[in-house]
């Protein structure tokens, strides 16, 4: 494995794991029902860093997918006959982007809604406060891990295929037998007139 591949694996893995960790941290630090103080007319929300963590996680996941697209040469858009990639790698690459897009959307939506502070009153009853649903940040973090794994798998398939093509060509060239009738120096025996080489030439007879 080359140094460039190790660097790609390290960078993408770090970005996806960091995005997932921040998403799970945002889920743990988001405002819960027990944290809100409800009065007769308002809701008092505590300060939280869940929105910042969610935004940063979404950015890291986006950077990871852009990195994967760059190193795999965007298999869906730059496919050619000499360096074609397998169907499995292309499908995995597309699924990786779909998972990352959904994960980024969930992280951004959760980060935006986590700052919402609203009081809903009901006639004759005590009102209630808006709270972000549980699990949205966690879903975004899980999709970040899935997108990273699928993206690295697509990159592995594409680079493996590219390495196998020169090796197969070299093996075919080595196994090809050499044709001595082409490109060589013809070695033959000189041909002379049999009469010129006869040491006892036939003498002329006179009548």
**How many whole angstroms separate alpha carbon 119 and alpha carbon 117?**
7
pLDDT at 85: 53
Domain segments of the chain as ranges: 3-75+84-164
Whether 20 contacts 145, CB under 8 Å: yes
What is the 8-class DSSP label of residue 177? P
What is the pTM assigned to this prediction? 0.70
pLDDT at 4: 77
pLDDT at 199: 54
pLDDT at 128: 77
pLDDT at 36: 84
pLDDT at 26: 94
**How many whole angstroms separate alpha carbon 93 and alpha carbon 167?**
25
The residues of the chain scoring below 50 in pLDDT are 74-83, 124, 162-173, 175, 178, 180, 184-186, 194-195, 203-207
- Residues pairing with 5 in the sheet: none
């Amino acid at each position: 494995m080359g140094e460039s591949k190790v660097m790609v694996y390290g960078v993408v893995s770090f970005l996806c794991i960091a995005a997932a960790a921040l998403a799970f941290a945002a889920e743990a630090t988001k405002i819960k029902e027990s944290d809100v103080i409800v009065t007769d007319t308002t809701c008092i929300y505590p300060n939280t860093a869940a929105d910042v963590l969610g935004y940063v996680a979404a950015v890291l996941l986006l950077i990871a997918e852009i990195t994967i697209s760059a190193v795999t040469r965007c298999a869906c858009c730059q496919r050619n006959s000499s360096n074609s990639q397998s169907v499995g790698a292309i499908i995995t690459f597309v699924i990786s982007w779909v998972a990352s897009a959904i994960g980024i959307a969930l992280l951004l939506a959760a980060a935006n809604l986590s700052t919402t502070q609203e009081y809903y009153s009901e006639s004759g009853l005590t009102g209630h406060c808006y709270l972000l649903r549980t699990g949205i940040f966690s879903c975004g973090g899980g999709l970040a891990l899935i997108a990273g794994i699928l993206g690295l798998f697509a990159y592995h398939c594409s680079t493996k295929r590219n390495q196998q093509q020169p090796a197969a060509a070299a093996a075919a060239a080595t196994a090809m037998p050499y044709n001595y009738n082409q490109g060589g120096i013809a070695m033959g025996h000189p041909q002379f007139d049999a009469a010129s080489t006869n040491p006892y030439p036939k003498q002329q007879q006179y009548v």
